[in-house]
Amino acid sequence: MPLPHCSNPPTPQETAALRERYRLERERRVRPEGTGQYRATAAEFGYFAADPYAGEVAEREPLHDVVDVAIVGGGFGGILAGARLRGQGMAKVRIIDKGGDFGGTWYWNRYPGIHCDIESHVYLPLLDETGYVPEWKYAPGEEIRRHAVRIAEQFALYEHALFSTAVTSLDWDEAARQWTVTTDRGDAFRATYVVTATGTLSEPKLPGIPGIEDYRGHTFHTSRWDYAYTGGSPDGGLTGLAGKRVGVVGTGATGVQVIPMLAEDAGHLYVFQRTPSAVDVRGQRRMTPAEVGADRAGWAAERRENFLRICSGEHAEQDLVADRWTASAALLEKLLPSFRRHGEPDFEVAYEAADHATMNEIRARVAAEVTDTATAAALTPWYRYACKRPTFSDKYLPAFNRDNVTLVDTADTHGIERMTERGVVVDGVEYEVDCLVFATGFSVGVSGITSGQLPVTGRGGVRLLHSWAERGPRTLHGFTSRGFPNLIRMGSLQNASSVNYTHILDEQAVHAAALVAAAREKGALVEPTPEAEDAWVDVCARDAPDHAWFHAECTPGYYNAEGRGRPNGPTAYPHGAVAFHELLRRWRAENMGEALQS
Ligand code: NDP
């Protein structure tokens, strides 16, 4: 189908035609099982989640000691909390992580081509504090992982850390005013404060393809890359794939980065696509320290604040990062009130026109870059910009012009039909592959204290999720909940969110450390008053922007619970991250007592 012509602004007829096209493409893909179509990487598929990087995990004696703070999760959330707590003078800070080292998502994800698609100078945290200046506009994954290690070393976080260890329960002991932290390695130690920083996309998932267990070729998930099989490194050189038939399932943000690398080294690459990504311009380049103003104190904090303001619809004098995220900012936070303030009276009409303009540019790019017209048509995305995670690559689309790459579109069969001993069946055709890579993403929100996977028992033996069962989640600023003293949660629930999530995590870490420091100084517990908690829950509910209509019209994916039409994930503070951070700063100066109990 040719691209429909679109004037700027689009005519009512053009808008109606696009809406209809989006509806049809959505209908083609919605599956009645919703999120039930996936399989967890557990039980017989547990080997997909095993740690390929930790080597032999050394036996150790279980711990029964006492620490000042236990932090669950050693990704950037946990590391930043640790760094900020160390900055407040906390001596014994213990970070616990399932992985064999710090880094979280950057520990697990080491696939070829891995980069962060948020500018490195705003994504990498604590650049001002560590003096580190990234070389590239978009940092490779290994550089980011090393930066996580750098912060952990600088703030002495290795000293008490526990790796290859999963926290299995948190229990409050009212008499001792401490938490008991138990783990899958037999530990049962005490902590005065607990911070949870468990992330949202931490467990790899597999499609529930019939016959997946029958496949006899080599297979793994992108977040557990098997370099022993492929050879090479995240920079490429996958010599083990020479002459091999390789399949990759999934064309999301990970697939878009990994596919050009596989295309270079595989004998033949089959890309099994269900929904094409919107692939925007990357513009990777080296940047000098002078270009980012790294000679000035506070340059990194200023740059990331500027990025956050633009992506939150707030006023900014200039656009320092100036990339496709900032260019598309008004389409990202989906009608946040802050965008409305700057908008036209008829905001929805203007929004839709802007969306059409951006998506038409992205669609035109496919037509310009991919030579085979049928392949180009299959790679063309038909949905609104923020329906799926935007992606960025200058190498992805040209990879489909190679003779050794075949795109297999699975939209009409709702994904891969089945698997056999030898390969993959789509529309009755069997594609034999020696190796099949799953770039099929992660289950949303299955880890941590709000998922039930990590049970938390507070005052009076009350379970956190039981206490929320009737009236929904109840927090003050998302961090603390009544009945669960000295427990601080990092995450988006009734807190903030934005595309540059490490910035959000750092503000959360600063706040968590301030709460702990104030409580310690006053000999108090960190726990909100009932009035403060009620008031915050009201703020979050009263002003929540209605994104349901947006998600209801989107193609299925993890943003909308696979097409169920409601946002998938925690509900954040409704007025955006900039307003939330200002609110927290004011609150810390004036109202901290609302979260301290004697
Ligand atoms: P996604 O969930 O975004 O993508 C999964 C892919 O697998 C989709 O293309 C999906 O198709 C496809 N898929 C699932 N089931 C089937 C099936 N049965 N048959 C065929 N295809 C199937 O996972 P990603 O790992 O790509 O990305 C997850 C998140 O990680 C991103 O959204 C982003 O937040 C983060 N990320 C960030 C990066 C960064 O640079 N900052 C880089 C990479 C990831 P469909 O769309 O039809 O469901």
Amino acid at 541: A
The predicted structure's pLDDT at residue 337: 76
**DSSP class of residue 446?**
-
Q: Which atom of ligand 1 is nearest to the CA of 209?
A: 18
Q: Whose CA is nearest to atom 32 of ligand 1?
A: 389
The predicted structure's pLDDT at residue 31: 86
Q: Whose CA is nearest to atom 17 of ligand 1?
A: 415
* 117 alpha carbon – ligand 1 mean position (Å): 14
* 459 alpha carbon – ligand 1 mean position (Å): 40
Find the residues whose C-beta lies inside 6 A of ligand 1.
29, 115-118, 201, 207, 209, 249-255, 257, 272, 274-275, 389, 410, 415-416, 439-442, 557-558
Q: Whose CA is nearest to atom 15 of ligand 1?
A: 207
The predicted structure's pLDDT at residue 343: 65
Domains of the chain: 12-30+206-282+347-440 (3.50.50.60), 66-201+444-597 (3.50.50.60)
The predicted structure's pLDDT at residue 1: 43
* 414 alpha carbon – ligand 1 mean position (Å): 15
Q: Which atom of ligand 1 is nearest to the CA of 208?
A: 18
Express each pLDDT in 269-315 by its tens digit. 999 999 999 999 999 999 999 999 999 999 999 999 999 999 999 99
Q: Whose CA is nearest to atom 10 of ligand 1?
A: 250
Q: Whose CA is nearest to atom 35 of ligand 1?
A: 253
Count of alpha carbons within 13 Å of 523, Cβ hemisphere only? 0
Q: Is the peptide bond before 9 cis (omega within 30 degrees of 0)?
A: yes
Q: Whose CA is nearest to atom 2 of ligand 1?
A: 441
Q: Whose CA is nearest to atom 3 of ligand 1?
A: 252
* DSSP strand pairing (203-207 vs 38-40): antiparallel
Query: Of the residues 251, 261, 559, which should be mutated to test ligand 1's pocket, given the most ligand atoms within 8 Å of the CB?
Result: 251
Query: Of the residues 440, 443, 446, 502, which should be mutated to test ligand 1's pocket, given the most ligand atoms within 8 Å of the CB?
Result: 440
Q: Whose CA is nearest to atom 23 of ligand 1?
A: 441
Q: Which atom of ligand 1 is nearest to the CA of 223?
A: 25
For every residue of 470-533, which 3-state class applies, written as one string? CCCCCCECCCECCCCCCEEECCCCCCCCCCCHHHHHHHHHHHHHHHHHHHHHHCCEECCCHHHH
Q: Whose CA is nearest to atom 48 of ligand 1?
A: 557
The predicted structure's pLDDT at residue 6: 64
The predicted structure's pLDDT at residue 363: 97
* 255 alpha carbon – ligand 1 mean position (Å): 7
What's phi and psi for 324, nearest 5 deg?
Answer: -75, -20
Whole-Å CA distances, 2 to 24, 29, 354, 374, 553 = 15, 20, 21, 11, 22
Express each pLDDT in 403-449 by its tens digit. 999 999 999 888 899 999 999 999 999 999 999 999 999 988 777 88
**DSSP class of residue 233?**
B
3-state secondary structure of 406: strand
Q: Which residues pair with 392 in a beta bridge?
A: 280
Write out residues in the chain with pLDDT < 50, as ranges. Answer: 1-2
Residue 320 structure tokens? 């320092």
The predicted structure's pLDDT at residue 2: 44
For every residue of 28-94, which 3-state class applies, written as one string? HHCCCCHHHHEEECCHHHHHHHCCCCCCCCCCCCCCCCEEEEEEECCCHHHHHHHHHHHHCCCCCEE
Give CA–CA dist 196/70, Å, rounded. Answer: 8
